[in-house]
Amino acid sequence: MKRSADGVPWVPWLHGALFAALLSGGTACGSSAPETRTDEVVPASEEAVAWFGVRGTKCDAVLPALGLAAALREGAVSPWRVADETTWCTVGPTEAGANLRIDSVAQRVSASLERAAIAFYVARGAWSYTVFEGGEPVLSLESHLGRPLLSGDAVRGAAILGVELAVVSGTAEAGQDLTKLGPFVKRIGVADPGADARRVEARTAAVAETTRTVERTLSRIPAGSWAALPPLGVVLVKAVELRKKDEEEVPTYVIVDDMTTLVLPVARAEAMGMRPVASVETANKVLKLIDDGVDIDDATYDAGRMKRWLDAMRIGELERIAQVFAGLCEIQDKRKLVQVEAGLMETSREWLAEEIAAAKQVPLDGIDAKLRDLCD
């Protein structure tokens, strides 16, 4: 690709902002909004989460009430996750019980141990809870059957939970606002015992998907191969790596364009139209197209035609670039090219020469000379 005195590729339509974004691996059209955190208790959109806490006892006492003591001695896999908090034993289902409400289990354990308990259910953008004392329902927020409804004895519920009345009263209209769930859970001190496991599972799934993305990318444009990257033209893929961006591992191309090394996320490169270089068959077809020439009825300067040709270069399809070059060759036979046409002819010829040479694995100078001969 032709370069100016400062080493920047000379491309008529490549503005500084786009090139800067390309170098940084970002976009030229703004950035994404910051992520909203809610203490990481909010499930994915298709997932439901339930857990409960039993107050004033350790999980060693809760396990028998769950009917697990004998089973665990026999080596059975527990269907529950438990964790001792400061004043609570928290209980949540493993994968076998995922997506189910477990209020009735919390009520049974509360009755068996004669302890206070609170059961949570979070799904479809809403959250509900019920407070029990000795198995008796005291206070509940139900948000999955219409508008949030807080019912029961709020004063007694607040005392059982060890918080001010305003804390539980404030949940009356909050059941369909997931941003209010995290602070409420944190204030009570009843964290979901399955949250860490879900985060690990989510990270594992993300890494697996990222690995699959890299594998798909390597099968399409492997490291060490040539590729066409609009609007730069032909580039060398030096490597495909996982690079950290915003706390995530992002599949990333390391690209060499002449003497410049670019780092470009795979997703961004694909959005720009990056593709493998053309096949030998396509390269031969393109040369024949240029040799046959194209018909230009009106050789006068046409702004609309020029825009279509610039768009063709921006898209980066080799056959369309060949049509641009052949069209300019035809016009050059009839009149002198204006400056923008002359620049586009040079840019299109350089792209064609580089890609055809890479496709046919022949010296660049020979292809460039052939293109000049076909245009004379």
Task: Please name the residue that has the structure tokens 């409400």.
Answer: 101
3-class DSSP state for residue 195?
helix
Quick one: which of 27, 97, 113 has its CA closest to 62?
113
Name 133's Cβ contacts closer than 8 Å, sequence gap at least 6.
Answer: 110, 116, 156, 160
Q: Is the dihedral of CA 298, 301, 302, 306 positive or negative?
A: positive
Q: Which amino acid is at 42?
A: V
Edge-first strand listing for the sheet containing 80-84: 80-84, 88-93, 49-55, 116-123, 126-133, 136-142, 149-152
pLDDT tens over the chain, length 376 residues: 444 333 333 343 333 333 333 444 443 333 333 333 334 454 444 578 899 999 999 988 898 888 754 444 444 556 788 888 888 999 988 765 567 888 999 999 999 999 999 999 998 889 999 999 999 999 999 998 888 999 999 999 999 999 999 999 999 888 889 889 989 999 998 988 877 666 666 665 555 555 555 555 555 688 888 899 887 889 999 988 888 877 778 888 899 987 888 888 888 888 888 888 899 999 999 999 999 998 888 889 998 999 999 988 888 899 999 999 999 999 999 999 999 999 999 999 999 999 999 999 999 999 999 999 999 8
pLDDT of residue 40: 45
Torsion of Cα atoms, 107 then 49 then 70 then 65, to 10° = -20
CB under 8 Å to 123, separation ≥6 — which residues?
43, 47, 48, 49, 99, 144
CA distance 341 to 328: 7
Distance (Å, whole) CA 74 – CA 300: 90
